[in-house]
Structure 1
Amino acid sequence: MIDRRNLLGTGLLGAAATLFVPRIAFAAVPTDKRFVFIIQRGAADGLGIVVPVGDPAFAGQRGMLADVAEGGVQLDPLFTLHPALAQTGQLYGAGQALFAHAIASPYRERSHFDGQNVLESGGSGPYTVKDGWLNRMLSLLPPDDARAMAIAAAIPLALRGARDVASYAPSNLPQASDDLIERVSMLYQDDAQLHGLWDQALATRLLTGDLAADNGRNAAATGDLCARLMAPAEGARIAMIETGGWDTHAGQRQRLAGQLRGLDAMIGAIRTGLGAEWANTMVLVATEFGRTVAINGTGGTDHGTAASAMLLGGAVKGGRVIADWPGLAAGSLHDGRDLRPTTDLDSFIAGAIAGHFALDPAQTRRVLFPQAQEGPMVEGLV
């Protein structure tokens, strides 16, 4: 259900958006462009997703996890994609997906809460900026296009701010038991009208849970929901999806594979559900920080620094990996343990959004990341 603060119908999105006077100049003309931000809460292991099998130090550093890329799509001589990302690999082959590696926000500690705050607020440090960069982005868009939706149990920080946004969220009533959920599912199984509505409700119940749940079917349902909320002409143009379960301290092989299958299903469902509008869509996937280069004693990895990010969609100039690769030899690591950041995530995001919506890159970075230092932009992403 949607709470009183938020949208009661997709037709109200445009009306709500026009109540606010934008702070910054609009894009030149209205646009059909759509943008989705999928946050990976828990610090996703970029080295296990876009796997640097061509780095001479990789196998020795990763030990029992060195073979995780077997069967995956070879992206270039250095990188291979995890095999669980099958549909994503197809998008890469079609030039509709790119990956950025050794990338990080300005945050250099290893707290999930602080790291996510920096990632979502767009500040240079934790709790230095009170609203979110995705909300501030709405001020750069024409009024009729500034319609945003959070597919989450509550509006995430990245979408909080002066601009009103909508949310599609599960009820705040106490959690029902799994036994009750199963009984109601059986009751509605043969009901042509209620079966689909019940499945949609279940899809929101675990929005911030593990993508691996139910073999990725819940994640696919969430992606389909996102597409259906964005596909109509009067629907949302900006959306954010929360995903959790990326903290792989132990048993990473199975855990990460399950997470990636779910993410892959979600991305595939967004692409399929948007149909022709996929050509106008950009999907960003990013996490608060990466994980250690070496594995720990429980077959997992600990909190790290640099990670990988994804940019997908028909509007993306894909088929490539963007990486100023620092190497995985011991002397090249950050703090002697982590992948060293060489690409600024803020500049990457600002460059992607500026290109996608035909905005001025420098102005876009100032609005989205007001505390960022001036420097080179990551351009040519669309």
Structure 2
Amino acid sequence: MQRRQFVKLCGAGLAAFWLPSLSFAAAATEQRFIFIIQRGAADGLNTVIPYADPDYQRLRGALAVQDINDTKLDSLFALHPSLVTAKALYQQQHALFVHAVASAYRERSHFDGQNVLESGGTRAYQLKDGWLNRLLGLLPPAQNEAIAFSPTIPLALRGNYQVDAYASAKLPQPSDDLLLRVSQLYQQDAQLHAAWESAMQVENMADKGMQGQNSQQPAALGNMVGDFLSRPDGPRIAVLETGGWDTHSAQNSRLSKQLSDLDTLLASLQTHLGNHWQQTLIIVATEFGRTAAANGTGGTDHGTGAAMLAFGGALPAITASNRSWPAGKVIADWPGLKDSQLYQGRDLHPTLALDKAITALVSAHYGLEPGKVARTLFPASS
């Protein structure tokens, strides 16, 4: 049996998460980094809302978010009212938002856009590995094995540095007696015994993190992720994949729920990372944005320019070393929402490059030379 298959088998008792999957990679550093993928093209215009742009209300109509008095960030932007924790983090300078941002991808296919987002290429399927896996090569030697809590490892983590999979399956929980017998069976086999002990350690960390809660809830997921990343022998890098952002219809209610879940996840991560929150950077990004104007079904369609969100107690230190990316700010070269200012007459025009934003934050977070980070993570655009 291949080692990865064995770890998958041992993970059979883990219930499905609220978020489709979770991936871990370990690196010998006290810095923590979490990359949250918003699959489906999240609507940046109703996440970080340009309320003072006179064309926002005209384009969005009934989709325009109105209840923003308590979530205004500055004279132009406000947060969606579901993002209560995010607003508090912004006020503490533990958040920054990058608007009118996009990868190099300019079409509107989810699959191709996500491929570019995760691989770091300038076009779909140009690169075979993920930019986050390549980042591991720039960090100190790994302390622990890389682990993916998903049936398949997300492209962002695929590459030369191994990431094992820990997949859930709808099988009954094994009894303690069975686990003891298997442990005894593998005791004399060095390879299988090591794999078994590793799988049991992961199971124990997962059980502790869930603390009897429903694993489909974002708070419980945050508990578990925080527990993993807080352990001295735990991983230091995590990737979370979130779905449900493709809001072609009924967007107001659906987006409100999505953002509320994201906000709950952030709150749980901050709580359960404890003191390690000060060493944590979280980046939230999507494959592309949505149309500036509402469609005829109460939603928006595939667009271009989007919003990138960054959180973490490490942001003040990142700001100190790279003042071009200040915490507690919205970073935007705002293009405007007049019809003549829209990309192809329909989308928020991207004025900032997603790869540049990621490079700036990640290089400052790890104290790495930005040029080297850019060439490694995004070689096609460097």
Which band: TM-score by shorter chain? 0.7 to 0.9
* 1:370 aligned partner: 379
* 2:362 aligned partner: 353
Which residue of 87, 94, 97 corresponds with 1:96? Answer: 94
Structure 2 residue identity aligned to 1:325: W
CA distance in 2, matches of 1:309, 1:173: 38
Query: What displacement does 1:150 show?
Result: 3.3
* 2:74 aligned partner: 76
* 1:267 aligned partner: 266
CA distance in 2, matches of 1:71, 1:241: 31
- Change in 2 beyond 3 A, CA 1:220/1:236: same
CA distance in 1, matches of 2:116, 2:144: 23
* 1:342 aligned partner: 351
Query: What displacement does 1:267 show?
Result: 0.8
CA distance in 1, matches of 2:42, 2:292: 12
Preserved contact between residue 209 and residue 223 of structure 2 (Cα < 8 Å):
no
CA distance in 2, matches of 1:306, 1:145: 38
- Change in 2 beyond 3 A, CA 1:97/1:8: farther
- Is 1:67 paired with 2:40? no
* 1:27 aligned partner: none
Preserved contact between residue 7 and residue 166 of structure 2 (Cα < 8 Å):
no
**Within-5 A mapping of 1:1-382:** 3-4=5-6, 31-144=29-142, 148-171=146-169, 203=215, 218-317=217-316, 318-373=327-382
CA distance in 2, matches of 1:315, 1:148: 23
- Change in 2 beyond 3 A, CA 1:291/1:78: same
CA distance in 1, matches of 2:270, 2:145: 20
* 1:13 aligned partner: none
Structure 2 residue identity aligned to 1:336: G
- Change in 2 beyond 3 A, CA 1:149/1:35: farther
Preserved contact between residue 139 and residue 146 of structure 1 (Cα < 8 Å):
no
Preserved contact between residue 8 and residue 167 of structure 2 (Cα < 8 Å):
no
Describe the superposition over 1:94-143 as per-residue Cα deviations: whole angstroms up to 9, x where unpaired.
01000000000000000000000000011110001001011111000000
Query: What displacement does 1:41 show?
Result: 0.2
CA distance in 2, matches of 1:265, 1:59: 28
CA distance in 2, matches of 1:324, 1:196: 44
Query: What displacement does 1:6 show?
Result: 6.8
Query: What displacement does 1:8 show?
Result: 7.4
Preserved contact between residue 144 and residue 234 of structure 2 (Cα < 8 Å):
no
- Give the TM-score normalised by the residue count of structure 2: 0.79
Q: In terms of mean alpha carbon deviation, does 60-69 or 229-238 score higher? A: 60-69
1:140 match: secondary structure: coil
- Change in 2 beyond 3 A, CA 1:197/1:47: closer
1:90 match: secondary structure: helix
Q: Please, which runs of 5 or more residues in structure 1 have no aligned partner?
A: 10-15, 19-29, 175-193, 207-217, 374-382
Structure 2 residue identity aligned to 1:335: Q
Preserved contact between residue 51 and residue 69 of structure 1 (Cα < 8 Å):
no
Query: What displacement does 1:153 show?
Result: 3.9
Aligned positions, number: 323
Query: What displacement does 1:75 show?
Result: 0.8
Structure 1 residue identity aligned to 2:6: R
Query: What displacement does 1:17 show?
Result: 7.0
2:6 match: secondary structure: coil
CA distance in 2, matches of 1:312, 1:261: 16
Query: Which is bigger in relative contact order (C-alpha 8 A, separation at least 6)?
Result: 2
Describe the superposition over 1:183-222 as per-residue Cα deviations: whole angstroms up to 9, x where unpaired.
xxxxxxxxxxx9979876952xx5xxxxxxxxxxx11211
CA distance in 1, matches of 2:53, 2:71: 17
CA distance in 1, matches of 2:209, 2:56: 47
Preserved contact between residue 124 and residue 372 of structure 1 (Cα < 8 Å):
yes
Preserved contact between residue 53 and residue 336 of structure 2 (Cα < 8 Å):
yes
Query: What displacement does 1:65 show?
Result: 1.5
Query: What displacement does 1:3 show?
Result: 4.7
Preserved contact between residue 129 and residue 158 of structure 2 (Cα < 8 Å):
yes
Structure 2 residue identity aligned to 1:87: T
RMSD, matched Cα:
2.5
CA distance in 2, matches of 1:4, 1:347: 39
CA distance in 2, matches of 1:7, 1:233: 26
CA distance in 2, matches of 1:154, 1:55: 42
* 1:184 aligned partner: none
Query: What displacement does 1:4 show?
Result: 2.4
Structure 1 residue identity aligned to 2:87: G
CA distance in 1, matches of 2:144, 2:288: 29
Q: Please, which runs of 5 or more residues in structure 2 have no aligned partner?
A: 12-24, 173-205, 317-326
Preserved contact between residue 278 and residue 313 of structure 2 (Cα < 8 Å):
yes
